[in-house]
């Protein structure tokens, strides 16, 4: 079964508007971590934000925030005030204790294109 599901098709976002990227996950672990990475066309994977399963508050990092709904097993990324440089692929990933050795399971990604 897929551990991380990202099903949105490619998205076009107007500059300065907010965009929400969906991510649902599947785990039976009590302890796990959720990550979002950005991959621009250059290929590098840029760490954006992290949410631990025991964190009571939603994680925020600058313009990035994570809408963590544990009961629904979702960890959506919200990018506020989109910029042209936000155009990229965005990957949601999960680390489970049972998966071992800090390995990450990645979703298939969301393509975002910010238009002026």
Partner 1 sequence: GAVVSQHPSRVICKSGTSVKIECRSLDFQATTMFWYRQFPKQSLMLMATSNEGSKATYEQGVEKDKFLINHASLTLSTLTVTSAHPEDSSFYICSATNQKAGETQYFGPGTRLLVL
Contact 64, 85 (CB under 8 A): no
Asked if 38 interacts with partner 1 (CB under 8 A), we say no
Minimum Å gap between C-beta 98 and partner 1 is: 15
Asked if 57 interacts with partner 1 (CB under 8 A), we say no
Asked if 64 interacts with partner 1 (CB under 8 A), we say no
Asked if 62 interacts with partner 1 (CB under 8 A), we say no
Asked if 101 interacts with partner 1 (CB under 8 A), we say yes
Please report, for residues 31, 46, 55, 71, the alpha-carbon distance to residue 90 in angstroms, rounded to integers and kept in the order given: 23, 9, 22, 23
Contact 77, 69 (CB under 8 A): no
- Contact with partner 1 (CB under 8 A): which of 1, 41, 43, 85? 43
Place of tokens 């979703």: 107
- Contact with partner 1 (CB under 8 A): which of 15, 16, 30, 46? 46
Q: What is the phi/psi pair of residue 6, to 5°?
A: -130, 110
* Contact stretch for partner 1 (CB under 8 A) within 15-23, 30-38, 65-73, 77-85: 30-38
> What span, in angstroms and rounded, lies between the C-alpha atoms of 4 and 62?
24
> What span, in angstroms and rounded, lies between the C-alpha atoms of 58 and 34?
11
Asked if 94 interacts with partner 1 (CB under 8 A), we say no
Question: Which residues contribute to the site for partner 1 (CB under 8 A)?
Answer: 33, 35, 37, 42-47, 50, 91, 95, 101-104, 106-109
């Amino acid at each position: 079964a897929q551990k991380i599901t990202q099903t949105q098709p490619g998205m076009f976002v107007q500059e300065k508007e907010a965009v929400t990227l969906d991510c649902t996950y599947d785990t039976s672990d009590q302890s796990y971590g959720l990550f979002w990475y950005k991959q621009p066309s250059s290929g590098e994977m840029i760490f954006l934000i992290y949410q631990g399963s025991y964190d009571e508050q939603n994680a925020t990092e600058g313009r990035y925030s994570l809408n963590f709904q544990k009961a629904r097993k979702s960890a959506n990324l919200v990018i506020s005030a989109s910029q042209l440089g936000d155009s990229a692929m965005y990957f949601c990933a999960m680390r489970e204790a049972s998966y071992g050795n800090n390995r990450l399971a990645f979703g298939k990604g969301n393509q975002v294109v910010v238009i002026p």
